[in-house]
Chain A
Amino acid sequence: MNHILEMRSITKTFPGVKALSDVNLLIREGEIHAICGENGAGKSTLMKVLSGVYPHGSYEGDIQFQGEVCAFKDIKASEQRGIVIIHQELALIPYLSIAENIFLGNEHAKGGLISWNETLKHATALLKRVGLTESPQTRVADIGVGKQQLVEIAKALSKEVKLLILDEPTAALNDEDSGKLLELLLEFKAQGISCIIISHKLNEIRRVADSVTILRDGQTIETMVVRETPEAEPQVSEDRIIRGMVGRDLDNRFPERTPYEGDDASEVAMAIEDWTVRHPIDQQRNVVDGVSLNVRRGEIVGIAGLMGAGRTELAMSVFGRAYGRYTGGRVYRDGKEVRTRTVPEAIEHGIAYVTEDRKHYGLNLDDTISRNISLSSLAKVARRGVVNEHEESRVAERFRKTMNIKAPTVFEQVGKLSGGNQQKVVLSKWIHVGPEVLILDEPTRGIDVGAKYEIYTVINDLAAQGKAVVFISSELGELLGMCDRIYTMAAGRLTGEVPRAEATQEVLMRHMTRDRGDEG
């Protein structure tokens, strides 16, 4: 069989990080090819290289498409060749109609005037191909996410796509819509369109894919044939894929921890019961669904889950209902039920939440290190509402030294620091509040190895002092190295609770990839 696409020895470096290292990818003509890997394995980067988001010259290696070497300088160039990528976050304009969205940037126009009749005619034809019966004049905002996904695909078809790339296409869809989408992909395959699908849902991969390539730490691990003929049963098991995704040694990446030995060592510091949160816009969907968990003093408890599992949503909702619509659930601190309806209430009850997205939710980038650290605990450096700036700077200076924040002074703008140092500022801010329970959401995302170790040390110290730590992470290795217990979540539900002794990457991954409704 011919190869429609060959990517050879692709290497892509960001400052300080090698995102892709010598990656090879071969796609056969007319196949559905799945790409698997943990978050941060380099899947999206690879697709951005392919589609020209990272232009030719910013990476090393060759791309050959339909037998010709390609040097795409932007997305437009790759689309002209028939490579279309559909990102996880849909790129539709909600207040434009379906037809307008399909032909955005590609309008049926003469001399700048749009021919609406032609537009509508083509749009109707395209919608029919993807199985949508909506009028092309419907606003995109008025249809569900599943149908929006189909509109994106119709948009791709309008560009005469030869290779369709879907990044986590079913992550936000319910079972029914996911099923329809997968059927559609099989139809396209029959029409000769090749397809790359990035997915965490292994059952879906087994259902539609012809081959699967596994990436790990920016390298190609292996490519396996899932089925030789379209009707054949899949030859590759989920366990086999999981082994490929996680097979990595745990070396000395984690500091030693002194166990907490206070009198209250085994007491539950915080318990969450039956917590349920609705999606802020899509009222039909529960992003967190009846989750119950607890964490003891001096314990580090992990929450594992793939993108869209609802981990961040759970944490933010517990922390002052800062996400979605709370529909039920209770929080207990030291055995007593407490109210955490607002962030100040949550803080008052000794809960701190260190956000996953430092830049948007954690820091005021224009402001200084010192003022960022004090923001949540101004009362501690103020008397009768007047901030003692000297005391504030002294506190910040102390954290700069103990946390090893690399900056000349505490008056440096936070926006100028590197990711690792910014993360240390956020951690300092919450440690200064003096909470009993810390919820850390992806505390090491986008941080280099050295800074990661420092942050692990800080987390261990907190636990050794008897704080209860909830550690949310997408890096399984990190959870295994740090946590006493690990909960897993999938599709908003708790799917497992694994003590450290029994936890392996395979076990966790199995719980995390468990679909809705699966039991056992």
Chain B
Amino acid sequence: MSTATQDTKSAAPPPNDGSPGIGTLLVQSLRANVRQYGMLVALALIIVIFQIWSDNILLRPLNVTNLVQQNGYILILAIGMMIVIIAGHIDLSVGSLVAFVGAFAGVLMVNHDVPWPLAVILCLLVGAAAGAWQGFWIAYVGIPSFIVTLAGMLVFRGGTQILLDGQSLSPFPEGFRKISIGFIPEMGPYTQYHNPTMVIGLAVCAAAVWQEWRGRQQRAAYELDVMPIGLFYVKCAAIVAAVMAFAMTLSSWHGAPVGLLILAGLMVIFSFVMRNTVVGRHVYALGGNQPAAKLSGVRDKRVTFMVFVNMGLLAALAGLVFTARLGSATPSAGLNFELEAIAAAFIGGASASGGVGTVLGAIIGGLVLGVLNNGMSLVGIGTEYQQVIKGLVLLAAVGFDIWNKRRVGS
């Protein structure tokens, strides 16, 4: 039966005369990215609703800063989790690993006065080692990731309690705490806005526009279809407007939080890796069809292993950011973080069978959850209802995905 639909489809391809109209291009692009645009629209809607409902508190500079700081560590985890899910796996241990790394940081910095930059490096190494441990069992021994990381979830949680002996550890050095709650220092003459943040905003705009322009030039050079110039300007203007609005909002408070810069850096790096590098391709191929990837020369075991090492590293970073924000290491840190990260990835367009998803999608998914959390708290919805609503949003997002796929008929 399936061959029937495939045959009729390929039998009548639309004629390709090389210059499709703006409408066709828009429709094509929308259709190809319906999931991501869908969630972007949903995110915008959620923001508007809570902005009105909360009497304009949601988008106040202070609250936007809060949003970034409250969700930074979940977003970091979501990036790693997205990659794990694209590769066709899952990681249930990241919440425990966040706690474990926090505890380890506490032991180093609070108990033994290790200088914080050194402690940060050691913590990241511990995270990578934990990831390597799990990756070894998954990639080379062949134990399903669900089981290995379920074991990891218990092991790391127990390890946290052993390290902390059931107590919380504080205080952490101020320098360390800055990586989460610090802001970029103000520089230059007094203006109404925070100067460095505005400069960064402008730089981001310039980089984004340049990137778009270069991509366009290259596509033209390779004689591929390019977006009509009018539409191109509209797109660039939209990017500039969004970035500058965000930068101005942050600048009228303390400026950009350090955590935001870390997050933005990760987003750029991992988007690039997943989109543009050979390794990224191999991850997608592996999750999309493991036997085919293997027969195509992808070193499946090594790639799987590296994906988990990376997840461990990011979980450690999230653990550091979380501990720095809280100012203490506690045995119950990071509870259910893995579930939030997994939910963010699926809301952001990951496929449960692997091979599909984008880093940007994970960020959007994480923001949907984050804005929901924050917005619902602002308007006084109790945490019990918050959970119900978040659960339903997850179900709706994935349900929409499946409905959409069936409609397209693939």
Asked if A361 and B14 make an inter-chain contact with CB atoms under 8 angstroms apart, the answer reads no
Which of B9, B278, B284 interacts with A367 by CB under 8 Å?
B284
A520 at the interface (CB under 8 A from B): no
Q: Which of B193-249 contact A (CB under 8 A)?
A: 218-219, 221-225
Against B, the Cβ 8 Å flags (1 = close, 0 = not) of A244-259 are 0000000000000000
Q: Which of A16, A363, A386, A407 has the most CB of B within 10 A?
A: A386
Q: Looking at the complex, which of B179-187, B255-263, B288-296 is the stretch in contact with chain A?
A: B288-296
Q: Which of B271-322 contact A (CB under 8 A)?
A: 276-282, 284-285, 288-289, 291-299
Which of A343, A386, A393 interacts with B277 by CB under 8 Å?
A386
Asked if A382 and B16 make an inter-chain contact with CB atoms under 8 angstroms apart, the answer reads no
Which residue on A lies nearest to B272, using beta carbons?
A386
Which of B6, B219, B288, B351 interacts with A416 by CB under 8 Å?
B6
A353 at the interface (CB under 8 A from B): yes
A394 at the interface (CB under 8 A from B): yes
Asked if B16 and A408 make an inter-chain contact with CB atoms under 8 angstroms apart, the answer reads yes
Which of A320, A344, A387, A394 interacts with B276 by CB under 8 Å?
A387
A365 at the interface (CB under 8 A from B): yes
Asked if A382 and B278 make an inter-chain contact with CB atoms under 8 angstroms apart, the answer reads yes
* Bound: A393/B241 CA distance, A: 31
Against B, the Cβ 8 Å flags (1 = close, 0 = not) of A339-369 are 0001110010000010100001111111100
Chain B's nearest CB lies how many Å from the CB of A450?
12
Asked if B294 and A322 make an inter-chain contact with CB atoms under 8 angstroms apart, the answer reads yes
Q: Which of A356-412 contact B (CB under 8 A)?
A: 360-367, 371, 374-376, 378-379, 382, 385-387, 389-391, 393-394, 397, 406-409, 411
Which residue on B lies nearest to A387, using beta carbons?
B276
Which residue on B lies nearest to A374, using beta carbons?
B281
Asked if A407 and B292 make an inter-chain contact with CB atoms under 8 angstroms apart, the answer reads no
Q: Looking at the complex, which of A81-89, A205-213, A417-425 is the stretch in contact with chain B?
A: A417-425
Asked if A415 and B410 make an inter-chain contact with CB atoms under 8 angstroms apart, the answer reads yes
Asked if B7 and A367 make an inter-chain contact with CB atoms under 8 angstroms apart, the answer reads no
- Which residues on the A side are within 8 Å of B277 (C-beta)? 382, 385-387
Q: Which of B288, B295, B298 has the most CB of A within 10 A?
A: B295
* Bound: A412/B277 CA distance, A: 21
Asked if A407 and B10 make an inter-chain contact with CB atoms under 8 angstroms apart, the answer reads yes
B388 at the interface (CB under 8 A from A): no
- Which residues on the A side are within 8 Å of B410 (C-beta)? 413, 415-416
* Bound: A360/B290 CA distance, A: 9
Q: Which of B6, B14, B280 has the most CB of A within 10 A?
A: B6
* Bound: A406/B8 CA distance, A: 12
A162 at the interface (CB under 8 A from B): no
A362-B292, A366-B288, A418-B6 known; A407+B278 contact, CB < 8 A: no
Which residue on A lies nearest to B218, using beta carbons?
A390
* Bound: A405/B163 CA distance, A: 61
- Which residues on the A side are within 8 Å of B356 (C-beta)? 366
* Bound: A355/B296 CA distance, A: 10
B3 at the interface (CB under 8 A from A): yes
* Bound: A394/B16 CA distance, A: 16
**Size range of the interface on B?**
35 or more
Asked if A367 and B279 make an inter-chain contact with CB atoms under 8 angstroms apart, the answer reads no
Q: How many residues of A contact B (CB 8 A)?
A: 50
Which residue on A lies nearest to B4, using beta carbons?
A15
A366-B288, A416-B6, A418-B6 known; A378+B278 contact, CB < 8 A: yes
* Bound: A191/B225 CA distance, A: 72
A188 at the interface (CB under 8 A from B): no
- Which residues on the B side are within 8 Å of A16 (C-beta)? 7
- Which residues on the A side are within 8 Å of B282 (C-beta)? 378
Which of B13, B218, B278, B298 interacts with A406 by CB under 8 Å?
B13
Asked if B296 and A376 make an inter-chain contact with CB atoms under 8 angstroms apart, the answer reads yes
Against B, the Cβ 8 Å flags (1 = close, 0 = not) of A297-316 are 00000000000000000001
* Bound: A417/B5 CA distance, A: 10
A385-B279, A390-B218, A394-B222 known; A361+B292 contact, CB < 8 A: yes
Asked if A393 and B222 make an inter-chain contact with CB atoms under 8 angstroms apart, the answer reads yes
A275 at the interface (CB under 8 A from B): no
B355 at the interface (CB under 8 A from A): yes
B392 at the interface (CB under 8 A from A): no
B118 at the interface (CB under 8 A from A): no
Chain A's nearest CB lies how many Å from the CB of B286?
9
A360-B289, A366-B356 known; A429+B14 contact, CB < 8 A: no
A260 at the interface (CB under 8 A from B): no
Chain B's nearest CB lies how many Å from the CB of A407?
6
A361-B291, A362-B295, A419-B3 known; A15+B355 contact, CB < 8 A: no
Which of A322, A363, A376, A387 interacts with B289 by CB under 8 Å?
A363
A366-B355, A385-B277 known; A416+B10 contact, CB < 8 A: yes
A319 at the interface (CB under 8 A from B): yes
Which of A15, A319, A342, A391 interacts with B222 by CB under 8 Å?
A391
Which residue on B lies nearest to A393, using beta carbons?
B224
A15-B3, A418-B6 known; A375+B296 contact, CB < 8 A: yes
B11 at the interface (CB under 8 A from A): yes
Chain A's nearest CB lies how many Å from the CB of B408?
9
Q: Which of B13, B221, B410 has the most CB of A within 10 A?
A: B13
Which of B224, B280, B351 interacts with A390 by CB under 8 Å?
B224
Asked if B295 and A367 make an inter-chain contact with CB atoms under 8 angstroms apart, the answer reads no
- Which residues on the B side are within 8 Å of A374 (C-beta)? 281
**Which 6 A-B pairs have CB atoms at the shortest separation, nearest pair first?**
A364-B288, A390-B222, A418-B10, A376-B296, A15-B4, A378-B278
12 extra A-B contacts, CB within 8 A, seeds A385-B279, A394-B222, A421-B10:
A14-B3, A16-B7, A343-B295, A343-B297, A343-B298, A375-B297, A378-B278, A382-B278, A390-B224, A408-B13, A411-B32, A416-B410
6 A-B residue pairs with Cβ-Cβ distance under 8 Å, sorted by A, are A16-B7, A363-B289, A375-B281, A385-B279, A390-B218, A393-B224
